[in-house]
Structure formats: C-alpha cells, structure tokens
Amino acid sequence: MEDKLHNFFTENDFDFQEPHSGHLERFERKLNTPKKINRTSWKWLSVAASVVLVLGFWLGSTHQKRMIDLADVSPKLEEVQDYFVTTINQELKTVEKNRSLETESIIEEALDQLEELEDNYRLFILELNSDVNKTTIINSMIRNYQQRLEILENVLQQIEQIKNPNLLNDEIYI
C-alpha cells in the first residue's frame, strides 16, 4: 500500500507552492459577502412563463380538431381494429425474435413495406375525417390491415424456410 502511494506521488507532478500573499483574506471576504439576488425579475419571469403556458394549453385544446379513427366509427369496427392491431403486434414480436444475420434483409424489407402501409393508413384517417365516401375509406383501412398481416405471415414463412431449408423438400404434394 505504501509503495502505491509513494509511486503515485513520485509519478505525478503536484504544485506545492504557496498562494500569493493575502489569498486567505480575499477568499474569506468572498465567502462572507452576501450575494444580491434580484428576486423581482425572477417573480415576473415566472408569472410570464405561467401565463404563456396556460394560454398555450388553452389555444391548443380549443383549436385542435379531433381526428377520428376506425375505432371511433362504430363498436364493431373498434373490435376489428383491436383484433388487427393485436395480431400485427404479436406477429411483429415473433418476427423480431427470429431476427438474425440470415433474416435481416427480409425483415428490413418487410418493415419498410409496413411503414409504407402505415403512411397510407394515416392518409385514410385524414380522408375519413373529411366528408368523403366513408364506406370506401373504411374498406381501404381494413384492407390495409389485412395487407400488413399478409406481409408479416410471408416473412415468417420465409424465416421458417431459412431456419429449416429441408422443410420444403420433406413436404408431400398431392
């Protein structure tokens, strides 16, 4: 232990010189001098910030138009949307569990396709909020969900084929 301390002090160059004369007095004077805090400017600043926040929340809540989604149209469509969202999320988890070097490109391509379908779905939501033919838009939204599931199922089949290349050869076709 003593060797380590000795080596530490011999290897490092420390400044052992005394501070300039009057250093201690200047230091104590700075410590004892009370700081002047301008509290009135902080009070006004906090009041102004509070007013801006309250005004911002009020403007945001009154001027924001609520966007309706598939689930907002009817309870049956809410069930359909919940089914698709739950199933898609489960499939995505399964795909992510099977991510490897061999499957990386397939998964990334599928995720790009899913992202494109998600962008299309956002456009459908905008169209649903306008007074256009809602039945056609709702059918397109459901078809969008179906396409997402098809993509994920195809990816899982491709992953299974990569993991078990003899699987296709062992199947019997009738």
**Domain ranges for the chain:** 70-166
pLDDT exceeds 90 at position 116: yes
pLDDT of residue 62: 55
pLDDT of residue 83: 92
Which residue type does 126 have? Answer: L
pLDDT exceeds 80 at position 112: yes
Question: In this predicted model, which residue has the larger pLDDT, 108 or 38?
Answer: 108
Q: How far apart are CA 111 and CA 118, in angstroms?
A: 10
pLDDT exceeds 80 at position 114: yes
The kind and range of the H/E element at 44 are: helix 39-63
* pLDDT single digits (tens) 11-25: 777 766 777 788 888
Confidence of residue 95 (pLDDT cuts 50, 70, 90): confident
Nearest residue to 139 via CA among 127, 150, 151, 130 = 127
pLDDT exceeds 60 at position 63: no
Q: Mean of the pLDDT values across residues 125-132?
A: 79
